[in-house]
Chain A
Amino acid sequence: MIRIALKMLFGDRGKYVMLISGITFATLLMAQGMSLFCGLMSWTYSTMRNVNVPIWVADPKVEQCNDNKPMRDTDTTRVRSVDGVAWAVPLYQGISMARLADGASKMITLIGLDNNTLIGAPTRIIAGRLEDLRMPNTVILDDFGVERLSAGRACPIRVGDVFEINDREARIVAICQSYRSFTGGPYVFTTYDRAVQYAPNQRKMLSFILAAPQPGLTDQEVAQRIAAGTGLAAFTQHEFMWSTILWYIKNTGIPINVGTIVIIGFFIGAAISGQTFYSFVLENTRHFAALRAMGASSGTLCAMLLAQAVLVGFIGYGIGLGLVSVLGNNLLRLGKVPFLMLWQITAVVGGAVLVIVALSALIGILRIARLEPAIVFR
């Protein structure tokens, strides 16, 4: 009977296409919205992904890694003296303006690394040498920075070229790959002391203290000891990532905007496929009644409707996910939009599609359940 059910559905090409489009559309909107959300969220903690150390120490009021409430330089020493800390180094993070040869300005995220150890330096160098950062007035630019700062030049900016940060010379000694920042500016890495010179003068410049536990101790234990011993906020990398993501969820309109897209996707999909399926069932009422009169049980008719709905859901979901990944990959290639399709997203969207499909089938089943087989004689 399932075969007969599917043939009934395939035969009605208009409805069949309509049903699949409804599910495809719902899948597309929901998966796209959620991937956008996850992508945006992954951008919020890019500084942490780029620097990548076990423990982050910050001013007690700091909740997320793009916040800047500077501490005193002496705080680094206080953290070092906490029992169980293997090392602790300063990190500067701030927004600055880079000025190009033609006078145009671009926003950058400036990172100042510990002068001696360069802890937190980029690991994926694609041109030049990290060690050259010890030479005067030098910086490392990320590949996105190359794209940004090259705008309007005859040939792209490269190692050895010079630009200005707040009127001071910055010579590029290496190009690296990095994760895109939430603010949208490229990353520029330099040493802590030089970053302090580049940055507009403030009394305190220390954004974060990076630390690591001694062997045998967990990140969490040592973070707790630092917090207790210094009164500063200390997070493991994992805690700080979630703290950052939650901060953006609580304090920005992103979840509402994305949530709206996802909910609209769900309801439009449910409306299109529910409505189309219902009219499919209505048009076939006579045939379902005839099957009932010929002795098909209610269970069989329900199974037929479910099979029809599930098949449509499956195809629509597949096409939808395919479209999302093609679209997402193109967006990623353009580099303008965040996009991160986790497997959890495909599972959640799959679940939502199943709900839509089950609802559609249920509408049909309720219709068929009220069916008097005697109507076939009318």
Chain B
Amino acid sequence: MNTTGIQIQSVDKSFGRGQARTVVLKKTDFAAETGRLTMLVGPSGCGKTTLLSIIAGTLHADGGAVEVLGQRLDRMGADAVARFRSRNLGFIFQQFNLIPTLTAAENVSVPLVIQGFGHRHAERKAREVLDWVGLSDHVNFRPAKMSGGQQQRVAIARALVHEPPIILCDEPTSSLDSENGHHVMELLRKAATQKDRLVLVVTHDNRTYGFADHMAEMEDGRIFRTLTTQEEIRAHHPPGS
């Protein structure tokens, strides 16, 4: 069952004031469904990260409606949004953002610990998810002892460990070579389709377009085209182009 998980309507966002003011989002509309891997693509500086941050509730829109899982984030206070994030969202960043002094298992357990689970339970759960991403023999490794691809898989495990219905990823493959990027995208797709999650991937890495079920193309702060099937995506972005 595919249901609408994210619904953005007529969102505005600008940075700075006066002369330095840059308008980034202009009456932007966007939607994404569960059970699919949605890609948000577009040239550098078009506003993808800004839109993602607004969906995550880490950035406030100037106007418009931001509805995630039926909740209006734009009408919630900062602490309520933080609580909402801790339960419902998983994050994967371009720079992995793992804490260097924690082991893989400890890093993965962080979202559960934030929710108030005990360390033992959290780390047991973390090991299961590390196993799922294929890192069962790296649970006690620190990030510095792992390759970029392995670190990003730890980050995926961290985004999944608390079983959030939505995973948000910003350029998850752009720090990786194509083989590792491929592996990471496979995992993300598996997370979306096997577990009926909404996975939203912001990227301009066209090597990964084949993994998308749904694609929103952005330019200059607006979604100018939405491709809703893999066939459509292949037609507009032929593999190897």
Contact = CB atoms under 8 A, between A and B. Distances in A.
Contacts of B93: 290, 376-377
B87 A295 contact: yes
A99 interface: no
User: Nearest 5 pairs between A and B by C-beta?
Assistant: A11-B101, A295-B86, A373-B58, A295-B85, A374-B59
Secondary structure type dominating chain A contacts: helix
Given A11-B100, A295-B87, A377-B49, A1 B114 contact: yes
A286 interface: yes
Interface in B139-161: none
Nearest to B142: A11
A263 B157 CA distance: 51
Interface string A341-378: 00000000000000000000000000000001110111
Contact of B170 (A292, A300, A377): A377
A167 interface: no
A377 B91 CA distance: 10
Given A295-B83, A377-B170, 9 more contacts: A1-B113, A8-B99, A290-B93, A290-B97, A292-B82, A295-B111, A296-B114, A297-B83, A376-B93
Contacts, number: 82
B106 A7 contact: yes
A283 B23 CA distance: 31
Nearest to B171: A377
B119 A376 contact: no
Interface residues of B, number: 31
Given A296-B114, A298-B79, A12 B101 contact: yes
In the complex, which range does the number of interface residues on chain A fall in? 20 to 34
A10 B103 CA distance: 13
Interface in A271-298: 286-287, 290-298
A3 interface: yes
Contacts of A296: 82, 86, 114
A8 B111 CA distance: 16
Interface centre among B52, B59, B82, B89 (most CB of A within 10 A): B82
B110 A294 contact: yes
B85 A7 contact: no
Nearest to B52: A377
A287 B99 contact: yes
A377 B40 CA distance: 15
Interface of A: 1, 3-4, 7-8, 10-12, 286-287, 290-298, 300, 372-374, 376-378
Contacts of A373: 56, 58
13 contacts: A3-B119, A7-B101, A7-B102, A293-B56, A293-B85, A293-B91, A294-B111, A295-B84, A295-B111, A296-B114, A297-B79, A298-B79, A300-B114
Nearest to B202: A377
A17 B100 CA distance: 18
A20 to B, nearest CB: 17
B53 interface: yes
A48 to B, nearest CB: 58
A10 B83 contact: no
Nearest to A287: B99
A10 B101 CA distance: 8
A113 to B, nearest CB: 69
A239 B67 CA distance: 77
Contacts of B100: 11
A4 B58 contact: no
Contacts of A1: 113-114
A294 B158 CA distance: 10
A183 B209 CA distance: 89
A10 B86 CA distance: 26
Nearest to B60: A374
A371 to B, nearest CB: 10
